[in-house]
Structure 1
Amino acid sequence: MSLNYSLRWVFLLVAVGLFRRTKSQIFTIGSCPNPSVVSDFEVDQYLGKWYYNRNYFSIFKTGLDCTTVEYTMNEDEITIKIEGFLINNKKKKTTFGKARVVTSGKLTVTFIPNALTQGAENYWILDTDYTSYAVVWNCFPHGVMYSSTAWILTRERNPSSATIDLALAAFEKNDIDQTKLKLVNQQDCE
C-alpha cells in the first residue's frame, strides 16, 4: 500500500470524526475563544418560544425554514424542542434535547442521539434581554483547530432592525465572526 493511499484513508477518517462530533461547518485554526456570557442568567425568563433569526451553517438545519426553538422547564432540566419546515416539501421536522445550567450563562445541551452527535454540547448565552433577542454560541476543540456555531434568536418572527443590532453587538464585543451568520427564512410560515 502506498503512503499516498494511506494518507487519504487517514484524512477520510479524521474528516468523518470531525463531522460526527460537530454539527457546524465553521472551522478556525487555533483554540476556542473564551467570550463573556450573561453573568446573571435567569432561566425562567429565558424559557418559552424563540425564532431563529440568523445562524452559522448547521448540518441539522440544512433545508429548514421557519425554524423555532422552545425551552420548557421539566424538574431540574430544560427540555428543548426545535422545529422547522423542510424547504422542498414543507414537512415539519422536530428535534428534541435537554439542557442543564452549568454556571450562569453556560449550559450543557444533549440532543437525542443520532449519527451526527456524540454526547453533550456547550451552549453559551453571550447576551439576552429575554424579551426580544438572545445570542448563543458554542465551540468544540479539534486539536489545532476548533469548530463553532452561533445563533441569534428572537421572540418575534420578524424582529426590528434595532433588535438585530443589539444582538450583533454581542458578536462584536466578543470578537466573534458575524460575517458567517446566515438569515433564516421566517416568511410564509403559517
Structure 2
Amino acid sequence: MLIVLVVLWACLQTGLTQLLELGDCPKLAVEQNFDLKKYTGCWYSIFAFNTEAFQGNGNCVLAHYSSSPESGKVIVYNEQISSNGKLNSINGTAIPEDKNKKEGKLKVTLNIDVLKYKIPVTSNYWVLVTDYYNYAVVCSCFTIKLTHTLACFILSRHVTLSEEFKKKIDVYLKAAGIPWSRFKQVDQTNCGSHKCN
C-alpha cells in the first residue's frame, strides 16, 4: 500500500497522472543467466521515459551499484544534477527477486524523500537486456488498482551510446513492444567532474 501512495503522491506533485496506463504491468522478458556481480559498477542514464516523478528534470544522471558480500545485497546510489544546479542523490539496496533463479529480476529498496521524511520504498527492477560492458535496458513497473505505470531506462557504461549498441537495443525494444518514441534523451553534457570514474 505504501508504494501505491508514494507513486500517486509523486505523480500528483509533478502533474504526471498521465503516466498511469490501464491494465496490469506488461510481461517483459528479462536477462537470463544474469550475473549481478558483472552488472555492478557505474552506469550513465542515456535515455528514459516516465521517470519524471522520481528524478524530476535532472541531468547528468548516474547509477552506482556495488556489492556488499557481508549482507548479500547490492548497495544502490543514484545521483543527478537537478534543474536548479544542485546535486541530488538517493540511496538504497537491491537483492535478487528469487535467489534460485539467475535472471535479471531484482527488488530495489530506495529511501525516498516524502514530505521531509525518508521512507523506504521497494519496487521491482527488471534488467531486460545487457551486455554488462556497454549497455543495459532496465524497467520498473507498479500496478495501482486497475492501472500501472511503467518507467524504463537505457543505461550505458560510457557517457554516450554508440549507434552499434542503439541498433542492438532497437531490436530488443521492438520485440518487447516498447517504442523508442517513448524515450527522451537524458542530458549528460556540462557535467564537469560528475561522471563515472
Q: TM bucket by the smaller chain?
A: 0.7 to 0.9
Query: What secondary structure, in the 3-state scheme, does the structure 1 residue paired with 2:132 have?
Result: coil
Q: Which amino acid aligns with 1:19?
A: L
Which protein shows a greater Rg? 1
Query: Which residue of structure 2 aligns with residue 105 of structure 1?
Result: 104
Identical amino acids, percent of aligned pairs: 26
* TM-score, structure 1 normalization: 0.83
- Classify 1:18/1:113 alpha carbon distance in 2 versus 1 (closer, same or farther; 3 Å): closer
- Equivalent residues, number: 175
1:187 aligns with one of 173, 185, 189 = 189
1:59-106 Cα offsets, whole Å, 9 max, x none, are 221131111101000120001111111233x22111111100113110
Structure 1 residue 44: Cα displacement: 1.1
Which of 26, 33, 41 aligns to 1:33? It is 26
Q: 1:20 touches 1:118 (CA, 8 Å); kept in 2?
A: no
Please say if residues 91 and 111 of structure 2, whose CA atoms lie closer than 8 Å, have aligned partners that are also in contact.
Answer: yes
Q: Which amino acid aligns with 1:161?
A: E
Alpha-carbon distance between aligned partners in 2 of 1:102 and 1:60, rounded to the nearest angstrom: 22
1:48 aligns with 2:41: yes
Structure-2 separation of matches of 1:16 and 1:44: 33
Q: Partner residue of 1:174? A: 176
Residue from 72, 79, 85 that aligns with 1:83: 79
Structure 2: give runs of 5+ residues left out of the alignment.
Answer: 193-197
Between 1:169-178 and 1:29-38, the stretch displaced more is 169-178
Task: Tell me what 2:58 maps to.
Answer: 64
* Paired residues for 1:144-155 under 5 Å: 144-155=146-157
The CA deviation at 1:21 is 7.5
Show the counterpart of 1:9: none
Q: Secondary structure at the match of 1:176?
A: coil
TM-score by length of 2: 0.80
